[in-house]
Structure 1
Amino acid sequence: MASRAKFVVRDCWKNTGSHVTSYRCNRDGFYQPCVSEDNRKRELKMQGSRKINGHCPARMTVSTSVGDGVVLVEYISTHHGHDLQLAHIPISSPTKLKIATQLAGKTPLETVLEDVRRLSGEVNRDNLSTRQDLLNIIRRFGLDRLHPDDAISEDAWVEKERKFSKFPKNEQAIDEQDSQSDEGEPENESCVIFYKGKGVSDPNNPALRDEDFLLGIMTTAQRDMLARFGGNIITMDSTHETNSYSYHLTTLMVVDDLLQVFPCAFLISDRNDQVGIEVFLRQVREKVGKLSCQVFMSDVEETFHNAWKEVMGGATRQLYCTWHVLRAWENEIHQVVKS
């Protein structure tokens, strides 16, 4: 069932031998406008503030033992004072990052919206994304054009991302000051794991040409998911011809304990051969270590599998994506049966 509730960090502290984090329902609290009513230039959204001007009892307190890593959770599941509405739930973090990656690669807004609205099961908040949501993500990730030259703009964005965390670590500040937009997710380090701009050489990767472009992205949350589930099923796929530069968007994914596919890293590149994929995977390995997966699934081309085998080692089983198999069969049939 799709989640219709959102919990945000309210406080963190240390007890003797443990770290404690307190989470509260994101509807809890009182609406605090950033400007006075006299200076307000726009009306509130039709659904109103996500704050209920009261307190919702739903909460979680998570205690993690420093010594043995045991996690204890105190959970109150009862919500009060509001309905569980998708309108007041932010877009999920993996979807935000995927959208930001597509937009950074110059994918048109309409194409991104069509992709994110595509249903795969029960309707969730991500499927209800609007054009305004995409504009908010552009602003939040700093994807506004920083320079008329795209290459300089990309360099500036990467430099900005590496210097500053994209989201404040204190989510309460966002929740109180920006109640009309999505909450940010706590980040402790840059999501850029590799970057090589056009026209520059990379002495650490001599196989890359000066004209090659590669941008690898993985957040701390994605890193943790890959480290947790990367020993089971790994899948890689790539989309192309979604922008004027013919860049490929390659996604590294895992299947979690709920059998849901979770994107763990992205590569935007015009070098989608084994050399480029190996460079990307080596950076992933630097973050999570060497992964020995049970199943590796990709398209019928051997590029992804060969690169994975070279960097991470072979998988127990290799599978092909159903869609790519069917397309290969269809192309072969058209070659054999001309009519």
Structure 2
Amino acid sequence: MIRNLKQFAAGAAIVTSIGMQMLMPSYVDAAVKTVDLESSVFTSAESINCNSSKIELANPPEFHTNRKAYIGAGVEGLDYEKMIKWQQNVDEGRELWRIDPMQVARVEGKKYGFTEQDGFSIVKILRSSSISRYGQIDVEILRQGKIHTMTLVKPFAQRDTIWTTYKVDGTLASSDKSVKTKVLFKTNKYKDWKFYRSEYPQEMFFAAIDNHNGRLNYNNGIAKEIVNQFKGSKFTNKLILFANMGASSAQSDIGIEKVIVSGKNMTVYVHTKSPRPDQFITMNIIYPDDYVAIDRSLIEGQGTMKITFIDQNGTIIGKDKLKIKKE
């Protein structure tokens, strides 16, 4: 009888970041549910800092070296010995990037072939999912015109616990070779620009305008005074890519430095700048903008073109779709 009770209790052990706790099965779920499930990262994707591409935490992290990280049902396929080691490092104030899902995507994404030049954007945030009881985040990664999805999971229950990669959809080796990528425009005149502000103006916007034999095709919401700039004959049979920084302080600017196309996916790389924190500026408000006109003959085929705008930090800051018609 005593031996059976010991086996019963051992089977209900819950792994923690500092050892083992023995709990009876009827108390396991209750123990997990009482853990503080307050999220540290479930904010909207708009809270991404455009300089660091980090999600701003809802509350400042508090690190306790004696904290226990309870594991409930677990995430199938994860190496929990490794997870516990990583969590211990975070609890002791090391490897703090592991609690920032955007940084996890960038760092762990390197083993899948992604780089800092690719565009990273959070597209889905779940408090709980079928694969991860304690949270799931999907990160969209734009690489050479191809979109991949990285799924991150939270293996432990409470606040300030780590995130890690669960899976990556799409195989880079086949994706990059299946569709040819072409560079349609490139300049390096903005390479020394620096953006010092913590966020972009709310009025910042991007657009694509197709001038097909003098007829303009564009999405609703673009001001007429902007569209009218591209009615002239020099823009005939051009695809115009337009970037506007919105209401900005003097000495701010925005420039398009590269355009690539891969199939029906186009990526527009923009570079921004703002005054240095110690720089004297006037109270004048300006609306910096830039555009490039791409020859339509360089765009193969027709149909809906997905256009993504990315800044110098690899953050996706704008999207547009435009139907390209050819005769």
After TM superposition, the score normalised by the length of structure 1 is: 0.27
Structure of greater relative contact order (alpha carbons < 8 Å, 6+ residues apart): 2
Structure having the higher Rg:
2
Q: Which has the higher strand share?
A: 2
Q: What is the TM-score normalised by the length of structure 2?
A: 0.28
Task: Name whichever structure is richer in helix by fraction.
Answer: 1
